[in-house]
Amino acid sequence: MEIEELKKEQCYGCSACMNICPKKAISMKQDEKGFYYPHIDQNLCIHCGLCTKACPSIQRANKNEKLIRSYACKNKKDDIRMKSSSGGIFTLLAQYVLKQKGIVFGARWNKNFMVEHSFIEKEEDITLFRGSKYLQSNIKKSYKQVKIFLEKGKIVLFTGTPCQIAGLKTFLGKEYENLYTQDFICHGVPSPKFWKKYLTYKTPNDAEITNINFRDKEKYDWDNFSLAIDFNNKKRYNRINTKDFFMQVFLSDICLRDSCYACPYKNHKTLADITLADLWGAKEIIPSMYDNKGVSLAICYTKKGQELMDAINPYIEKQEISLEKVGKYNKSLLKPAVKPENREQFFIDLEKQDFKRIIKTYKKRFIGIKRFYRKCKGGVKKLILFR
């Protein structure tokens, strides 16, 4: 099979093919829904087959040793935890690698508030990657850069979605002792086109965005996180996730990438050394650690993952837990999202209708969910959100 023969749901948009092509024949182009897919310039292609070999959908990389130990954990520093999505564990992993003069790859905002991968070498830059950005990050040339650093003998921590980790592994084509990989339980990634339209709608004509935080815990708390957008006119939009239109659409699964509905990395099929997540249901699973500032779930799949966990041990509060209860509160651990019937219609409307009208049409759908949500408590709320 060639990469251009892949069905939409088989391509994760990881850019491994673009990174490996020796002729720069592959570019990532947006489809009508705004998702990125590879496009081959046939005038440049020499049919070497490298892109097929690097594609994680065509070539499945070797599975992990499957150590599987899981922990409830949180950073002892509350200020870092408050700025992080869950328990602030990523920051500690990054610090550990940077202290050894290593390199950390992760997802950051670009100047247009779209998300892209890059790397850091200094601890003060961890803030660029801290916090979940609920969009697909553009890998750009990251895989190539990872390989250069690895071959120079540098320690590299690569963080991203499970499919981006898989893309890196097939791109590299062999194991490296000095590579650590960290992913997260992944709900899926929403359409960049929808995000762009949402941002345009939210930004006043006379202002510019200066910062965005998908997981603000200051206004409410961890359970009831809000989406905060700061503008250069000192104004701030900050709304609880259940009332913000972008988050409603994202969490209703209507605008996810095709591959997310058929994701093959669920149920412990990740290729990463360690998986991080929100320990939704912490109040019920481990009440002694719950304070509504964020508790992480960390699952170590390999010896390297366990080595990372052991290295950060002095800086965390942790307790080993069974995964049995976790799946009940965090459905994305086990199964891909289900494609809603009106997904195609949503994208047709997104193309044709004015954004105000889209909000009016689709909000109706979420009012029912919201009323039901209000009646539910703690962990059950998370079942509705990150199901």
Determine the Cα–Cα distance for residues 245 and 367; give it in Å rounded to an integer.
11
User: Out of ligand FAD, ligand SF4, none, which partner does residue 40 contact, by CB within 5 to 8 A per kind?
Assistant: ligand SF4
DSSP classification of residue 280: T
Side chain identity, residue 214: F
Stretch of residues binding ligand SF4 (CB under 6 A), selected from 47-55, 195-203, 297-305, 310-318:
47-55
Which is nearer to ligand SF4, 115 or 358 (by Cβ)?
Answer: 115
Q: Look-up: residue for tokens 């990989």?
A: 181
User: Do residues 152 and 121 touch, judged by C-beta distance below 8 A?
Assistant: no
Of 19 and 159, CB closest to ligand FAD? 159
Residues within window 255-294 making contact with ligand SF4, judged by CB under 6 A: 257, 259-260, 263, 265
The answer to whether 143 and 19 have CB atoms below 8 angstroms apart is yes
For residues 326 and 240, the answer to whether their CB atoms sit within 8 Å is no
Give the range of 23-31, 115-123, 302-310, 372-380 binding ligand SF4 by CB under 6 A: 23-31
x/- mask, ligand FAD, residues 20-59, rule CB under 6 A, reads ----------------------------------------
Distance CA 30, CA 193 (A): 9
By C-alpha distance, which of 13, 34, 9, 29 is closest to 351?
Answer: 34
**Beta-bridge partners for 109:** 115
Nearest Cα to Cα of residue 183 among 300, 11, 321? 300
Q: At what angle do helices 192-202 and 343-352 cross, to 10 degrees?
A: 50
Q: In this complex, which beta carbon is closest to ligand SF4, that of residue 260 or of residue 276?
A: 260
Taking the CB of residue 264, how many other CB atoms lie within 10 A of it?
A: 17
Verify binding: residue 90, ligand FAD, rule CB under 6 A: yes
Task: Give yes or no for a contact between 227 and 235, defined as CB atoms under 8 angstroms apart.
Answer: no
Q: Find the shortest distance in angstroms from Cβ 315 to ligand FAD.
A: 12
48's contact among ligand SF4, ligand FAD, none, with CB below 5 to 8 A by partner kind, is ligand SF4
Please tell me whether residue 21 binds ligand SF4 under the rule CB under 6 A: yes
Is residue 192 part of the contact set for ligand FAD (CB under 6 A)? no
Confirm or reject binding of residue 16 to ligand SF4 (CB under 6 A): no
Mark 182-221 with x for binding to ligand SF4 (rule: CB under 6 A) and - for no binding. ----x-xx--------------------------------
245, interface contact from ligand SF4, ligand FAD, none, CB < 5-8 Å by kind = none
Q: Which does 179 bind (CB under 5 to 8 A by kind): ligand SF4, ligand FAD, none?
A: none
Phi, psi (deg, nearest 5) at residue 205: -55, -35
Number of residues lying near ligand FAD (CB under 6 A): 34
H/E stretch holding 180: strand 179-184
CA 109 to chain centre: 13
Tokens read off for 305: 């993952």
Contacts with ligand FAD, residue ranges (CB under 6 A): 84-91, 106-107, 115, 129-135, 137, 159-161, 184-187, 189, 276-278, 296, 330, 332, 386
By the criterion CB under 6 A, which residues form the site for ligand SF4?
A: 12, 20-21, 23, 25-26, 40, 45-51, 161-163, 186, 188-189, 257, 259-260, 263, 265
